A and B are shown apart, each in its own frame.
Chain A
Amino acid sequence: MGDILSAVGNIAFNGLAFAMVLYLISVGLSVTMGMMGFVNLAHGVFAMAGGYVVTSLMREQGVPFPLALLGAALTVAAASVPVERLLYRRFYGGDELDQVLLTIGLAFMSVAGATYIWGPLQQPLQPPPWLSGVADLGFRSFPAYRSFLILCGAALVTALWLSIERTRFGARVRAAVDNLRMAQSIGIDTSRLFMATFGLGSGLAGLGGALGADLLTVNPGYALQNLIYFLIVVAVGGLGSIRGPFFAALLIGVTDTASKYLVPEFGAFFIYVLTLAVLLWRPRGLFGRA
């Protein structure tokens, strides 16, 4: 009995940690797809950039971990804005195939670029001493880094929900997702809104990539290797939703961990079965609107 409880506890804990990383990275993708109707297959590039920034800052500049995380989020957010202004904006409302070609091309360029700058090897994340090892909570102990990951993720999710549900900026975002033309006609500057949302989404992806560098290893192929995870989260969660990807990430994170733990010989099989089942049941995802 104790063994089963411990197994369930482990799956829930590690699944939750993975889900947080998936959510932080994917939520931006969901919003840009839902709001601008833009298929951004290069979204993983921003997460990868976050991972590279955090590992380089820590190893080469000796920046403390929390500052390096902040630096990763801000750098990626700032770098994403010119990309949106100069490249993506021209393709809004355009042919989807053009968007796919543009962004998959960017993803390939990121592979070559990262290999050129950082070399082909994985960049290991070295958590600071206070996050290595085990945090003992009395009744049982938890890996410190993953506990930190879950706490950070929970805080960010709450902040994001509050800002979307309670602030004026959030109201504008929701309006633009619901009905773009109506939002424009009541005077919302959707072009600037897109830019801000894109920057926010990319910054979160950068932060997710930095925090999750331990789970999704930082290497040049990152954007393409993990694309399938991000797309599954968005598809299962529903386009344009803030809540949907969260539950989708939980579902995928826990299923992935559970299948590795219980039936490792099946690998990623169960994630795909789950995705198939959810999409057959609700083709627009859990929280997608018809």
Chain B
Amino acid sequence: MFRIFLVVLVAIASLPAPLLAQTVKVGLINSYTGFVAQPADQGQKGSDLYFKEHERDLPPGLKIEILKRDDTSNPEVGKRLAQELITRDRVQLLTGVVLSPVATAVAPLTAEAKVPLVLSYAAAGVNIPRLSPYIVRVTFTLWQESYPMGTWAAEQGWKTAYTAVTDFIAGHDAEAAFTKTFTDAGGKIVGADRFPLANPDFTPFVHRIKDAKPEVAFIFVPAGTQATAIIRAINEVGLREAGIKIAAPQDLLPDEELPNMGDIPLGLITSGTYSVAGKRPANEAFLAAWKREYGDKAIPDFFSVDGWDGMAMIFDLIKSTKGKFTADEAMSFFSHWKDPDSPRGPIEIDPQTRDIIQNIYIRRVEKVDGKLANVEIATIPMVRDPWKELNPPK
């Protein structure tokens, strides 16, 4: 009896490693409900798509298990969920997070527990990677995309600007970045407003802008139906008819909202990291996969591509380490990760800041095959986060 037992034991011990299935647990925190549920959904679809398309590429015997949690757009809930994922579910990595305040709340936990967090949807809170050495951001920063807009507006010969942004960390970042480059180039800010978070009615605010008569209005709202609401208010109040130009980061004209906007945004200029109209082979492959999975009606946007790239980064780590890595090994891998061929163009992580370096595209809304599209008209290659260069770590 004892001998049989020994034989079995030896047999198990000598099995080749891959036959023993190994699972890497990844905790994904996202805001499936609450005021950023729409961007959250867009990002999630991108992550899920990458997972589905590439699951079969994993080394045999290696599995990734994604544990999804809803932070309900509430930082306290997000923090509690992160704690549970780390201590109870023993995840090796955290990812997702669309709301920057949630990322800020989770940051100290990642440092304490040494669990890397791949921020794959949140873009605001420019200092977040500095809050913990275990955070890497694959999206973009509001500084990165709004900074060139101030320069661009000043180059058009516009001298006065009015900034109007949603009153949370993303809006504050966008406002600060635009104001910095616009005033450095000699422009003047004649008014600065902040919209309440869940604001259904933009008309009074747009009236304020119109009455202040600036040459250009810089506008940021979280991507989603709020974008359509403010575009409609701009039309109803007649802001553009009054000769006021509009400059905005990509969040004002998310690709999936364009069909709801009518012809109103034709000619509007935004700066951003991704447009479905981008002419790149990797983007065409991404769009084809998207269509197979979600059908014709669903349209991806920059959040979807951020989610896709975030998942790509995690897959690359797990493939190259065969699923065996420490937190520090993972961070060193992430910090030097690059993809010359993302749907949004070449991207790489800056090892110094753990933020992403990527192209910023200036886009104009044009009609392509009868549909509105954010057509890329100029490229500012490989932009680093400007805030970190202006504010070196002490």
Contacts and interface: CB of A to CB of B under 8 A. Distances in A.
Interface of A: 3, 6-7, 10-11, 14, 18, 115, 119-122, 124, 126, 132-134, 141, 143-146, 214-217, 220, 225, 257, 260-261, 264-265, 267-268
Interface string B202-217: 0111011001000000
B205 A141 contact: no
A215 B33 contact: no
Contact of B207 (A7, A134, A145, A225): A7
A143 B204 CA distance: 12
Contacts of A264: 193-195, 204-205, 208
B293 to A, nearest CB: 17
Contact of A146 (B193, B208, B228, B236): B236
Contact of B201 (A120, A141, A215, A265): A215
Nearest to A122: B225
B37 A120 contact: yes
Instruction: In the A-B complex, list the 8 residue pairs whose CB atoms are closest, starting with the nearest.
Output: A143-B236, A260-B204, A261-B204, A120-B37, A122-B225, A120-B33, A217-B200, A10-B207
B59 interface: no
Contacts of B196: 267-268
A14 B33 contact: no
B67 interface: no
Nearest to B73: A120
A217 B224 CA distance: 12
Interface residues of B, number: 30
Contacts of A267: 196
Nearest to A3: B211
B208 A132 contact: no
A14 B228 contact: no
B262 interface: yes
23 contacts: A7-B211, A10-B204, A11-B204, A115-B33, A119-B41, A121-B225, A122-B225, A132-B232, A133-B235, A133-B236, A134-B238, A143-B237, A146-B236, A216-B200, A217-B225, A220-B33, A260-B201, A260-B205, A261-B204, A261-B205, A264-B205, A267-B196, A268-B196
B32 interface: yes
Contacts of B41: 119-121
Interface in B16-42: 32-34, 37-38, 41
B172 to A, nearest CB: 13
A217 B201 CA distance: 9
Nearest to A7: B211
Contacts of A6: 211
Interface centre among B195, B205, B208, B260 (most CB of A within 10 A): B208
B285 interface: no
A191 to B, nearest CB: 38
Contacts of A10: 203-204, 207
Given A14-B207, A121-B224, A134-B238, 16 more contacts: A3-B211, A14-B201, A115-B33, A121-B225, A122-B38, A122-B225, A124-B260, A132-B232, A146-B203, A214-B201, A214-B229, A217-B198, A217-B229, A225-B198, A257-B204, A261-B207
A217 B32 CA distance: 18
Contacts of B38: 121-122
Contacts of A14: 201, 203-204, 207
Contact of A124 (B33, B204, B228, B262): B228
Nearest to A216: B200
Nearest to B208: A261
B203 A143 contact: yes
A108 to B, nearest CB: 13
Nearest to B38: A121
Nearest to B196: A267
Nearest to B212: A3
A120 B32 contact: yes
Contacts of B205: 260-261, 264
A7 B196 CA distance: 21
A68 B200 CA distance: 21
Nearest to A143: B236
A63 B34 CA distance: 29
Contacts of B228: 124
Contacts of B232: 132, 214
Given A143-B237, A215-B200, A121 B207 contact: no
A155 B211 CA distance: 32
Nearest to A213: B200
Contacts of A132: 232, 235, 262
Contacts of B235: 132-134
Interface centre among B195, B204, B238 (most CB of A within 10 A): B204
Interface in B238-280: 238, 260, 262
B219 to A, nearest CB: 14
A60 to B, nearest CB: 12
Contacts of B260: 124, 126
A145 B203 CA distance: 12
A114 B382 CA distance: 44
Interface centre among A7, A121, A215, A257 (most CB of B within 10 A): A121
B287 to A, nearest CB: 22
B34 to A, nearest CB: 8
Contacts of B200: 214-217
B349 to A, nearest CB: 31
A122 B236 contact: no
Contacts of A146: 203, 236
A120 B198 CA distance: 14
A120 B32 CA distance: 7
B357 to A, nearest CB: 32
A21 B205 CA distance: 19
Contacts of A216: 200
Contact of B224 (A122, A215, A257): A122
A220 B198 CA distance: 13
Contacts of B237: 143
A122 to B, nearest CB: 4
Nearest to A135: B236
B208 to A, nearest CB: 6
Contacts of B262: 132
Interface in B153-199: 193-196, 198
Contacts of A145: 236
